[in-house]
Structure 1
Amino acid sequence: MSKQTQNLKGQRFREALEESGLTGAQLARILDLENDQNITNWKARGVPAYMVGDVALTLVVEREWLEGKDAPMRTASTERHPPRPENGSPLYVLELMSPWDSGTPLDADEVELRLYKEVEVLSGPGKTPRMEVQEVTGPKLRFSRATMHSCGVDPSNAVFAINQSSSNHPLILADATVGIDTGMTRIVDGEMYAIDHDGHFRINFLQRTTTGIKLKSFNSAEFADEEYEFEQIMAQRFVILGRIFWWSSIRSLTAPPLI
């Protein structure tokens, strides 16, 4: 690679990082890098090929642009900034919501997320039913590609599920819908993950320990921390489904008071 190309890639990385509002240390943590020295190197030489896809998704820029190619920094699917106001008009305007149902065609910026849930299955004739977390055919959730790009999520890796627990109340309410990035299963300490724990769907903050992992709940007053060693993780069918990148709750008029 020529020195000129390295300089261009480094310059574009610095520009994307500055616009993102992230510090180098924060980006290193999101990407699960051992330290932020990589970020310092990238500012000078550009992002290496094996990381450029993840970095482009996280910083919400086009991969080809970040690679120093003749391409726009962002396109319609990655554009994050609203247009500048003209003639003194307000920057943000409240608009009516657009209702839709299962028969409404997807917009160009939308994708359909698949539903994951606990399902009771039989292992064979005469066997005791057991639970598994698996994709369920039928229900879908419409979601914006731009929103996923801003979260660093590849739309092909996004699924959704329904939270049935109060372990993270009031951060995530029971029956809330959560978005899961199945492409992000490596543990970043302090991030929240969806977990298949012996067939049961769980949402917890994860933290690595010297002998395994620790599970933490936002509702720590009612749900104590749990620690599992590597042998227990293997024995209990413990699978990290992905990182929680979004959640939403619907509040009915008959719901009990929150406080």
Structure 2
Amino acid sequence: MKTRRPLTPEEIQESQRLKAIYEQRKQAAKIAGRSLNQADVADACGWSGQSAFSQYATGKVPLNLEALLRMAKALDFSPAEVSPRLLKGIAEPMQPSKDMELKPIRAWDEKTPVDEDEVAVPFLKEVELAAGSGRFGIEEDDGSKLRFDKASLRANGVQFEKAKCVRVRGNSMTPVLRDGATVGVNTGLTSITDITDGELYAINHSGQLRVKQAYRMPGGIRLRSFNRDEHPDEDYSFQQMQDQEISIIGHVFWWGMYAK
């Protein structure tokens, strides 16, 4: 039997905070003349039975980002209240120290030459292959580019010429990636064997640009959205991937978006 690893002190505190929020919501529901139990929360999260929620709330298994986001929606709390650790990869703005010298903001546009320590990363876009054909392909956008400093790309193992940008469309990846968010993609990682389960990847699906969590499956691949209520998992065999022209564009190493 496979034994679970012990939780770290930080993970234990996260489960305790989650349980405290649940107890508060349960008491508030009681005062309002309603009932709330762990089975209700599990059901709202799309899990069968109460055991899944119970394992997180009692510290039997550590929290992960997907579970945290589901429970935050079900119990109406900010994910940061429970686990700032899991949110670090989503948005962690750098806070200037008192000793940090803040340089003036310099305006630039697509015509401004890049500095020696920068790379102008092109965007990928969907294009119709022939007028009215209904078939699409993906190519670089000649106009839109986003600047990255070379040190950041090196730190993420991205070769400069392999860096591309993709805009997210739709609500399938909310609340992590809203409609209009931009992701940086390492197109040097395009093989099924390059997939790390649960990581984000840009996908070419018959000429449609998609961003999904990817999982390796026996004989195929699973694509997962964060908004699983409206966008359930998609499982494809290798043959289906070939038939539907599904391929991996690359691994998402960065993302950003406006607040609204």
Q: What TM-score, normalized to structure 1?
A: 0.58
Q: Secondary structure at the match of 1:153?
A: coil
Deviations 1:115-159 (A, max 9, x none): 101111118xxx723111221222222111111111111111001
1: CA distance, partners of 2:133 / 2:173: 31
Superposed structure 1 runs of 4+ greater than 4 Å apart: none
Match of 1:182 among 173, 179, 187: 187
Q: Secondary structure at the match of 2:176?
A: coil
Equivalence for 1:130: 135
Q: Secondary structure at the match of 1:208?
A: strand
Deviations 1:37-56 (A, max 9, x none): xxxxxxxxxxxxxxxxxxxx
1:68-147 map, 5 Å: 90-122=98-130, 128-147=133-152
1:196 aligns with 2:201: no
Percent identical pairs in the alignment equals 39
1:140-219 map, 5 Å: 140-185=145-190, 186-219=194-227
Q: 1:91: how far off?
A: 4.3
Q: Name the aligned partner's letter for residue 206 of structure 1.
A: A
Q: Name the aligned partner's letter for residue 237 of structure 1.
A: E
Q: 1:245: how far off?
A: 0.7
Q: What TM-score, normalized to structure 2?
A: 0.58
Identify unmatched segments of 5+ residues in structure 2. 1-96
Q: Name the aligned partner's letter for residue 210 of structure 2.
A: R
Deviations 1:72-108 (A, max 9, x none): xxxxxxxxxxxxxxxxx94434444322112222111
Identify unmatched segments of 5+ residues in structure 1. 1-88
1:40-55 map, 5 Å: none
2: CA distance, partners of 1:152 / 1:238: 25
The answer (yes or no) to whether the contact 2:122–2:144 under 8 Å persists in 1 is yes
- The alignment's C-alpha RMSD in Å is 1.8
The answer (yes or no) to whether the contact 2:167–2:182 under 8 Å persists in 1 is yes
2: CA distance, partners of 1:211 / 1:220: 23
Q: 1:162: how far off?
A: 1.1
2: CA distance, partners of 1:195 / 1:150: 23
